[in-house]
Amino acid sequence: MAQQTANRRESDRVPMGVESAMPWVPAPSSESAQPPKAKRGVLRKLVLALLVLIFLFGVWQIAKKLYDQAHAPLAPVIDRKG
């Protein structure tokens, strides 16, 4: 039985919750104790999505105006045919 425990890692031999048994392990840094910072990418993605929506709205308006102008000369013809 002693041979089996000798082959185990030292971290396996230390019971859970006994961090003081390994004094050579450094204490956790203050950075790891702080909550994670919010990602900057979220704001950038929201701005990009807003710009894309504005661009698509502009394209839709231009296409609608071009469609109306192209079909305006045909309106009297369509009205006569009924």
Say how many C-beta atoms besides its own lie within 10 A of residue 52's C-beta. Answer: 10
Please tell me the predicted confidence (pLDDT) of residue 26: 67
- Backbone phi, psi, residue 63, to 5°: -65, -40
**pLDDT at residue 49 tops 80:** yes
**Structure tokens of 7?**
């082959």
Residue 59, both tokens:
């394209």
Which position has the higher pLDDT, 41 or 64? 64
pTM value is 0.45
**5: region left, alpha or beta (phi > 0 left; psi from -120 to 50 alpha):** alpha
Q: Is the pLDDT of residue 7 over 70?
A: no
Q: By CB neighbour count within 10 A (0-12 exposed, 13-18 middle, 19+ buried), where does 51 fall?
A: exposed
Residue 28 banded pLDDT, cuts 50, 70, 90? low
pLDDT at position 61 is 98
Asked whether residue 46 carries a pLDDT value surpassing 60, the answer given is yes
